[in-house]
């Protein structure tokens, strides 16, 4: 039987709809598209556009009252979902001299990428780290964390960083928990620098047993990253798509610093005109140095220092660098790789 006369099928669909059923055959191709067809679109936030609003927020509410004083960067096609890509959240956070953002912990993993200002700290699991522009800092799932900007003799300065969290992913799994600490600033159990000394020199304490799924290093300082990229630019071949690109690692595993987010830093030499590539992990970029253009799905996004932009899943992207550019980026690549679904294509010519 193959009868669709007189709306027989439509009537059938309406009858089964009443008990929450629908016919797969009407939706099959949307459910299993030939290639990624997400809603996420390319977008760029100019730092010069966002910063004045962030400073205005600094007058409207204290870090203490806000808990986290953040303006969330929402993908224009995902408004209302606190999502910069379908799986990731990003926002710009401000902490003024003299302020504390009180200690809490949650299932969501977080990364901070410092954009502006000196002198603030983040405390993670009993240790503080002072933040400088370009530093990449992690707060692993369920780790206590608080931030502060101690007032200096000269008054200090506002400190601003990009937050990246796996909020949409954890929401998808309905697996999120959160807790406030009893005190605003968590008690410290180790002097600053302990984690980097133990884990940040291509060595591990001799009897070290891995304690969590995340990296035991929680600040990857920019000075070292920058130096490595510079050295490699002088002596290595530049990749046609990436320039010189390094990924951050968890020294215990060689994998990404956190189970849900991979992070990268790349240097595009002056005059670089990159080849296009695409990958299934939608990627958030934060510009550290330099101006250029990211061509994403045919759109030309002109970027400058401290801007944030995103490349959606499977959208072709290539870079043009007017001057030497340094780009930090992050994505959900480790989740896709764990599921065996990550794909990349680097010969789009
Ligand atoms: C959070 O804990 C921080 O610790 C930043 O700085 C942004 C967004 C949603 C939920 C928790 C932080 C956040 C967040």
Torsion of CA 322, 326, 331, 335, to 10 degrees: 130
Give which of 270, 230, 243, 282 is closest to 85, Cα–Cα: 282
Collect the ranges in the chain with pLDDT lower than 70.
Answer: 1-3, 153, 349
pLDDT of residue 4: 75
Query: Each residue of 253-285: pLDDT tens digit?
Result: 999 999 999 999 999 999 999 999 999 999 999
- CA–centroid distance, 298 to ligand 1, in Å, is 33
pLDDT of residue 173: 98
pLDDT of residue 78: 98
With tokens 């977080």, the residue in question is 110
What whole-number distance in Å separates Cα of residue 259 and Cα of residue 40? 23
Single pTM value for the model? 0.96
Domain ranges of the chain: 43-345
Query: Each residue of 70-114: pLDDT tens digit?
Result: 999 999 999 999 999 999 999 999 999 999 999 999 999 999 999
CATH class of residue range 43-345: mainly beta
pLDDT of residue 349: 67
Ligand 1 pocket test: pick from 74, 163, 168 the residue with the most ligand atoms within 8 Å of its Cβ.
Answer: 163
- CA–centroid distance, 238 to ligand 1, in Å, is 36
Bridge partners of 311, per DSSP, are 283
pLDDT of residue 24: 97
pLDDT of residue 347: 82
| Ligand 1 atom 1, closest CA | 68
Verify whether ligand 1 is closer than 6 Å to residue 143 (CB atom): no
pLDDT of residue 5: 73
């Amino acid at each position: 039987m193959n009868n669709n006369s007189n709306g027989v099928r439509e009537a059938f669909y309406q009858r089964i709809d009443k008990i929450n059923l629908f016919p797969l055959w009407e939706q099959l191709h949307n459910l299993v598209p030939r290639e990624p067809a997400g809603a996420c679109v390319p977008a760029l936030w100019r730092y010069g556009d966002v910063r004045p609003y962030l400073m205005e927020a600094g007058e409207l509410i204290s870090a203490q009252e806000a808990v986290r004083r953040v303006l969330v960067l929402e993908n224009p096609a995902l408004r209302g979902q606190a999502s910069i890509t379908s799986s990731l959240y990003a926002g710009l956070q401000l902490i003024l001299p003299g302020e504390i953002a009180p200690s809490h912990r949650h299932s969501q993993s977080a990364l901070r990428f410092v954009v502006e200002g000196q002198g603030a700290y983040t405390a993670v699991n009993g240790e503080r780290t002072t933040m400088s522009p370009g530093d990449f800092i992690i707060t692993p799932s369920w780790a206590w964390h608080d931030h502060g900007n101690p007032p200096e003799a000269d008054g200090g300065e506002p400190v601003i960083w990009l937050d990246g969290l796996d909020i949409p992913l954890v929401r998808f799994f309905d697996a999120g928990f959160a807790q406030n600490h009893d005190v605003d600033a968590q008690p410290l159990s180790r002097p600053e620098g302990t984690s980097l000394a133990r884990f940040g020199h291509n060595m591990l304490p001799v009897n070290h047993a891995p304690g969590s799924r995340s990296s035991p290093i929680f600040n990857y300082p920019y000075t070292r990253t920058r130096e490595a990229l510079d050295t490699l630019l002088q002596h290595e071949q530049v990749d046609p798509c990436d320039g010189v690109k390094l990924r951050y690692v968890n020294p215990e595993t060689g994998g990404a610093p956190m189970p849900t987010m991979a992070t990268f830093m790349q240097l595009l030499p002056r005059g670089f005109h990159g080849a296009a590539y695409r990958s299934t992990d939608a990627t958030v970029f934060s510009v550290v140095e330099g101006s250029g253009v990211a061509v994403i799905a045919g759109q030309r996004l002109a970027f400058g220092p401290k801007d944030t932009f995103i490349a959606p899943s499977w959208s072709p992207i290539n870079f043009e660098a007017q001057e030497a550019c340094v780009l930090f980026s992050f994505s959900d690549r480790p989740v896709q790789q764990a599921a065996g679904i990550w794909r990349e294509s680097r010969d789009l010519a």
